[in-house]
Structure 1
Amino acid sequence: MTDLLPDHIERIFRDEYGRAVAVLTRVFGDIDVAEDAVQDAFSIAVEKWPTDGVPPSPAGWIITTARRRAIDKARREAARSAKHAEADLLHPTTGGVHDPVSLDRPEIPDDRLRLIFTCAHPALAPDSRVALTLRLLCGLSTAQIARAFLVPEATMGQRISRAKRKIRDAGIPFRIPSADELPYRLDAVRSVLYLVYTEGHTTTGGPGLVDADLCAEAVRLCRLLLRLVPEDPETTGLLALMLLGESRRAARTGPDGELVLLADQDRSLWDRALIDEGQALVRRTLRWNLPGPYQIQAAIAAVHSDGSSVEDTDWSQIVELYDQLAATTPTPVVALHRAVALAEVAGPAAALEIVDRLGFDRYHVFHAVRADLLQRLGRIAEADAAYDTAAALTENAMECAHLLRRRDALRQKLR
């Protein structure tokens, strides 16, 4: 749907879709009703706003219109009497799954965080939890989420549909869990927030490299989560990781929005306040001595933020931290990033030997890393082909342009 929107409405969609779905889910107690109503409201906006103008409060207009659409649909489709159906929607039964007040933790009154906890319920499969939240909270299309998970779009569509049916059929409540339930839900919630931030940091598709609003929303929700669990090391580490990533945002793109690699960034543009806050959180996690994946990734980011240049960076320490991360999270992605750091310590040949064993054929970053290592080794024809493959696989226009520039620069040297 977002592909059909004019630019200004598309931005409002990206900014407000999640909040509108979360609010309507609280009102009606049904995710499908909420999502369908919000999508209907945006369809009406596409028709009306170009001629009537964007309303002073676009979010309020969308929520109000969606609410009316949901009520109208209930009147038309309810099997029982129209008055009974409307009363059931507008006046939920106290204490039931539709009651958002009596079951919520009032100190954290945020609909979007409630929605994340609903989607992170242990009754749902782990991949479905994350995918459903990216769909509902961020408004990402099924195709975008499928690309992020490296699975076919049809597979992801079925996964999301099954998750929504499970929430409905099991009567999973729309609320923040009680204190004794929280430990069993934190891993899934943190995974969701991490992927929301990752999507904002480098968008899956579209013209820009970064979605700053999505990053800000992930940081805001992570701060709220940390208020719920202030002594949780991994949540603290996740917030640190986000803040340290955000500290470099101004330096990650050039004047025309082009991608600027870490080695080429103007480090005077890094936000020292965010670095200080992120590093303080990393030091706080060290006191618990319970290292986990987010804490280790935050520590890696902290080491990067200490260096005044790439050459001044403590790459040996980064490799050691990646070794720890690989012990807790032994994934090909971790191995790939470790190889990038290893190239700075042991050289590109040692790194390429590791990378070539990973076989990430459909992952553009894999081919981009290979291209860089091959170029450093003087294997120009292979590097050229790897840049082409990487550019063809990425959906992000700025990443694609960067990879093609690297390829073209390589070709220039051969002339």
Structure 2
Amino acid sequence: MSNTEARRAVEVVWRRESARVVGALARYTGDFSLAEDLAQEALAEALVSWSVDGVPAEPTGWLLTVGRRRAIDAFRRRSAQDDRYALLARDLDEELPGVDTLFDPDAIDDDVLALMFISCHPVLSKESRIALALRVVGGLGTGEIAKAFLVPVPTVQARITRAKKTLAAAKVPFGVPEPHELVERLGSVLQVIYLVFTEGSSASNGDEWIRTKLANEALRLARALVRLRPQPEVFGLLALLELTAARFPARLDASGWPVLLEDQDRRLWDQSAIRRGRAALAQAVAAGRGLGAYGLQASIAECHAVAHSVAETDWQRIVILYEALGRLTPSPVIDLGHAVAVAMASGPAAGLALVDAIASRGHLDGSHLLPAIRGELLTRLGRPDEARAALEQAIELCANVVESAMLQRKVDGVAHS
């Protein structure tokens, strides 16, 4: 296997299994910061070993085994200063013999949930919590995290480094917190699950349109969180994820090419997921406290889920829901969603006016979404030259290979119209 192929294999395994690897190593060592370092060392060793020996049959188990061996080496180095480390090294060494012993599904699930709550510990700033959790739970690169928050990559790197040092200094224990401690971390945990799912459902870069396994992991965590903390906004998040994931089967054609909402075969939508999502949304509504941000987004997703076509979708209701969402959690991305809904409800000219207003504020200068939507609206208004310019700008800003190709098809379609 070439070095390039080995690097690609390592990247794929890390994206899929990073949380399980780091979580398991944190449980074994009791040290979150050390566990993340050990996982990175195991990845570095995989780059060398896999290029020579090929990808092992159990790549996650391989990484865990290497990580644990590195932990033993680290504890042995410290053992001269502290007998406690020597004892832990001996225990780890005795437990190590087989890869299969590393896979206790229940324990691994607990590890990932614990990892998320540690990443969202209140000793960290809000920005550091989310950046660290996305890195170690979502397996996202610093570039992807920076793109999600529209901040420079060095800023994200600094937040992650600072967070790890803070957790180590505070000696935060590994584990799911006690019930009375859950409340102060819940908001950050919900946001991380949401962002991990968002990256899975619409990959910000790479050559995949949907990272299904990542989205499913976020969905699994949301279900676990509902059992742990059955509160309205947790139900709202679960509803949003279920209703969004229901459309996954129709979002790619037989060749793996993206299918946009207006062209999807709605018979392929997962009706079981829609029922689960609507049931979770009903639980959020039943609390009688008014829907939060995730519940409002779930209500928007429900409008799509129950409509038989784009034309039959209740766009006026979606406009109202976006307006409520914008008041609750102001964001240029929410404003952009509102503009699209207005375009569908009242025509492309009305939507374009709102998009241009967002552009004038400069909040989405680094995002491809705004010029992509602007290009679509200009196409519908019969302004091909401006549409091509906007779509070409979107291609320049887009880091996802599949989405860039789809935007190029739109450019070609405008050129031949």
TM-score using structure 2 length: 0.90
Conservation of the 8 A alpha-carbon contact between 1:208 and 1:257:
no
Q: How far off its partner does 1:308 sit?
A: 0.7
Alpha-carbon distance between aligned partners in 2 of 1:141 and 1:4, rounded to the nearest angstrom: 19
Conservation of the 8 A alpha-carbon contact between 2:24 and 2:108:
no
Match of residue 265 from structure 2: 266
Match of residue 294 from structure 1: 294
**Percent identical:** 43
Conservation of the 8 A alpha-carbon contact between 1:25 and 1:174:
yes
Match of residue 335 from structure 1: 335
Between stretches 217-226 and 358-367, larger displacement belongs to 358-367
SS of 1:138's equivalent?
coil
Between stretches 251-260 and 268-277, larger displacement belongs to 251-260
Match of residue 252 from structure 2: 253
Q: Indicate the RMSD between aligned Cα atoms, in angstroms.
A: 2.2
Alpha-carbon distance between aligned partners in 1 of 2:143 and 2:367, rounded to the nearest angstrom: 15
State the Cα deviation string for residues 53-81 of structure 1 (Å, max 9, x = none). 544433222212111112213434x3843
In the alignment, is residue 315 of structure 1 matched against residue 349 of structure 2?
A: no
State the Cα deviation string for residues 252-306 of structure 1 (Å, max 9, x = none). 1223322211111111111111111111211222211221000010011001011
Counterpart of 1:273, as a letter, is S
2:396 aligned to which of 370, 392, 396: 392
Alpha-carbon distance between aligned partners in 1 of 2:34 and 2:301, rounded to the nearest angstrom: 41
- Aligned CA distance change for structure 1 residues 4 and 36 (closer, same or farther; 3 Å): farther
State the Cα deviation string for residues 25-61 of structure 1 (Å, max 9, x = none). 1222223321221222233233333544544433222
Aligned length: 397
Counterpart of 1:14, as a letter, is R
- Aligned CA distance change for structure 1 residues 83 and 284 (closer, same or farther; 3 Å): closer
State the Cα deviation string for residues 141-173 of structure 1 (Å, max 9, x = none). 222211222111111111111111111111222
Alpha-carbon distance between aligned partners in 1 of 2:5 and 2:18, rounded to the nearest angstrom: 15
Match of residue 374 from structure 2: 370
Pairwise mapping of residues 9-408 of structure 1 onto structure 2 (< 5 A)?
9-76=10-77, 78=78, 80-81=80-81, 84-87=84-87, 110-230=110-230, 232-290=231-289, 291-359=291-359, 360-408=364-412
Task: Please list every run of 5 or more consecutive structure 2 residues that lacks an aligned counterpart in the other structure.
Answer: 93-105
Alpha-carbon distance between aligned partners in 2 of 1:60 and 1:83, rounded to the nearest angstrom: 29
Conservation of the 8 A alpha-carbon contact between 1:28 and 1:89:
no
Counterpart of 1:271, as a letter, is D
Counterpart of 1:373, as a letter, is L
TM-score using structure 1 length: 0.90
Q: How far off its partner does 1:229 sit?
A: 1.1
Counterpart of 2:26, as a letter, is T
- Aligned CA distance change for structure 1 residues 60 and 79 (closer, same or farther; 3 Å): closer
